[in-house]
Amino acid sequence: MMGAERDAVKARIIEATIACIEKGGISSVTARSVAKEASVNVASINYYFGTKENLLEETFKTALEHFSFDIHHLLSLPELHSHSLLKVLFSFLMEGIQRYPRLVQALLFNEKIAPKYRTTFLHQFSSSIEVLVEKILQENPRCSSQEATMRVLQMLYAVLSTCLPFQIGSLVGFDLGGAGQREYYLDLLLSRYIDWIPAERIEAQRNLVKEHIQKLFESR
């Protein structure tokens, strides 16, 4: 089997592993269940990954690599002002949380898994915060570095809270499962914290924001 073909099979197995995690959690991942999901034989799982632990480790590692690549790409978009950039970033995060809730919760909260990967996950946010703060300071010189950092952190907390196993919004009938509700949530959040961008500039980049969000998930 050629190298490219081997890589394609491994990628399909990893995608199948994520699908199994989303269907039944970490405990549902077995060589047999993944093989069925990936349409390969069990021997292929053992050949490429050896053990369930190795398979899960490679799956989490790959997921974080994709996450880091996408975040780096987002933060390098020079044409977007801070409101649009944060809209794309937060839309990406919330969509990912909606698509892969059990994967995200395992990486952040599972007591056996999270300690190994949480640092890498949070390090990516640390680098992102620095870039976002710098962009805010360039746009709004009257904002101090501390204030800009607090604004970004508070928005991140508001977005990442949507990956908690229990959604507080459900207590009052607010469901973030729909794309329209998530967009409303983000627009309201950004209007509170990024209040120096004129409405006409926000509107001027609305279609560009949608294009970037769509491209991100077309590649996944």
Segments making up each domain of the chain, as ranges? 1-50, 60-218
179 against 207, higher pLDDT? 207
Q: Is the pTM of this model over 0.85?
A: yes
Mean pLDDT of 146-153: 96
- Residues 157-189: pLDDT tens digits? 999 888 776 666 666 677 777 888 889 999 999
112 against 191, higher pLDDT? 191
At residue 171, the pLDDT reads 66
Distance CA 84, CA 23 (A): 33
Mean pLDDT of 2-29: 91
Which fold, 1-50?
Arc Repressor Mutant, subunit A (1.10.10)
Lookup result for tokens 């009257």 = 142
At residue 146, the pLDDT reads 97
At residue 151, the pLDDT reads 96
User: 185 near 155, Cβ under 8 Å?
Assistant: no
Mean pLDDT of 84-112: 90
Given a cut of 80, whether residue 118 has pLDDT beyond it is: no
How long a stretch of residues is the chain?
220
Give 3's pLDDT tier (boundaries 50, 70, 90).
Answer: confident
Quick one: which of 119, 110, 104 has its CA closest to 18?
104
Quick one: which of 199, 42, 72, 188 has its CA closest to 132?
72
User: 135 near 79, Cβ under 8 Å?
Assistant: no
Neighbouring C-alpha atoms within 13 Å toward the C-beta of 48: 25
User: 13 near 48, Cβ under 8 Å?
Assistant: yes
Give 111's pLDDT tier (boundaries 50, 70, 90).
Answer: confident
At residue 89, the pLDDT reads 93
